[in-house]
Amino acid sequence: MNQHRQLQRRLGVFDATSIGLGSMLGAGVFVVFAPAAGLAGNFLVLAVLLAGAVAYCNAVASAELAARYPASGGTYVYGRERLGDWPGFVAGWGFVSGKTASCAAMALTFGHYVAPGYAVPVAVAAVVVLTAVNLFGITRTALLTRILLCVVLATLVFVAVAALVGPHPSGAPSAPGRSTGGLGGVLPAAGLMFFAFAGYARIATLGEEVKDPAKTIPRAILAALGGAFVIYLGLAVVLQTHLPDGRLAATAVPLLEAVVNSRFAAGAPLVQAGAAAACLGALLALITGVGRTALAMARERDLPSPLARVGGRHTVPFVAELAVAAVVILLLLTTDVMTVVGFSSFGVLIYYAVTNAAAYTLDEHPYHAPRWLNVVGFASCLLLAFTLPPASVLGMAAVLALGVAVRFLVLRLRR
């Protein structure tokens, strides 16, 4: 079997957009508004706007590069092509290590929604089933993503209607020790909200499986981001109107809280089902994206070369997919994944900083993505990264340093 056999271009604009939007409307949409409101308070909408602006900078940079380099791997490939081997490696290693932990956390979140007493076995089963779906080809992945996305969108519409109809609770104090935030918390709140927007990276990592990538990828990325931005901004406005006086910041399940405190309280199980579907959709896209980035890194021998094998009737990177699933299951069985996943946020922002730096070096830029926008995106990513909690910064910095040290030693041994 040829280790560098190419993947097949089977995804159109609608499929690619569905995968990107399915990633952005993952479990985060059901929980992220509470901690963000705790940091930004009445300025939550401003935090969403700022996160959306940073996401736009990164999205147009990703779109430019993906159209120019339509191969699996996303910023790992762009960094190598435009900046050199080391920046590409840092981006790729940060994505693979951070998002593998995110896969485990997403699977465990699904387990807690579906069967709290058996969360880990259910999470492992979810990883096995979704990996099997991926092994049947990217078109099966896109089909299941569309189905799950429809469930999530229906749930979000239901939540919005319930919140708008009311009645609206009033005078509800925030929980003890829970800050209702203010203008000073807008930056860290925007950092939290940004990660909800980051799913468009999955479209770029699938660059080798998209039809007519020069046109399809930019359209899919911008369509997915635009859809997610409208949904997040709308939900922020609706939730703040419906759950005032710190109540939004005080709950761990803001969308469920919005329905429970409305005339449609009987529909609470529908919200739980939607959250479970969102977890599965995001997990499916994550496993796919990590597998393709691992494939690209293996092709350049930055990861073990067997991971570059592509084969089977459905032309998938089956070794990389199985390896990712195995590591995720190992994390689920041996660690508290909800505590180790925090550092992946720092890794994502470093990944996009490299994206912006790589896009800056391009000779031509479209009118909607001028070069100065890459400078703004690069600076914004670093600013948000270093306003994260110190534990997240130090944890991911240690993982990145370990990867760099191992690669340095391997290169020396090869020479």
Q: Chain centroid to CA 24: how far?
A: 6
Distance CA 182, CA 265 (A): 30
pLDDT tens, 349-382? Answer: 888 899 999 999 998 888 878 899 999 999 988 9
pTM above 0.85, yes or no: no
C-alpha distances in Å from residue 163, one per residue of 32, 166, 167, 259: 17, 5, 8, 7
Of residues 25 and 399, more confidence is placed in 399
Residue 90 in this model has a pLDDT that exceeds 50: yes
CA distances from 394 to 88, 256, 389, 399 (A): 21, 33, 9, 9
Rounded to 5 degrees, what are φ and ψ at 212?
Answer: 45, 60
How far, in Å, are 62, 354, 369 from residue 362 at the CA level?
Answer: 12, 13, 11
Statement: residue 268 has pLDDT above 90: no
Asked if the model's pLDDT at residue 157 lies above 50, the reply is yes
pLDDT band at 340 (very low <50, low <70, confident <90, very high): low
CA 231 to centroid of chain Cα atoms: 16
Query: Greater confidence, 368 or 127?
Result: 127
What distance in Å separates the CA atoms of residue 237 and residue 243, rounded to the nearest whole number? 10
In this predicted structure, what is the pLDDT of residue 1? 37
Torsion of CA 80, 84, 85, 90, to 10 degrees: -80
Highest mean pLDDT: which range of 60-69, 124-133, 237-246: 124-133
Euclidean distance between CA atoms 107 and 123, whole angstroms: 5
Give the model's pLDDT for residue 208. Answer: 67
pLDDT of residue 372: 92
Pick the range with the lowest mean pLDDT from 41-50, 172-181, 184-193, 263-272: 172-181
For 309-328, the pLDDT digits (tens) are 876 665 677 788 889 899 99
Q: Using CA atoms, how far apart are residues 45 and 189, in angstroms rounded to an integer?
A: 10
Tokens standing for residue 1 = 């079997």
Confidence class for position 173, pLDDT limits 50, 70, 90: very low
User: Looking at the predicted structure, is the pLDDT value of residue 86 above 70?
Assistant: yes
Instruction: Give the CA distances from residue 344 to residues 36, 339, 399, in Å, rounded to whole numbers and listed in that order.
Output: 18, 11, 10
Residue 315 is predicted with a pLDDT of 66
Q: What is the pLDDT, as a whole number, of residue 270?
A: 86
Exposed/middle/buried for 366, CB within 10 Å: 0-12, 13-18, 19+?
exposed
CATH number of 13-92+148-266+332-414: 1.20.1740.10
Q: Where are the domains of the chain?
A: 13-92+148-266+332-414
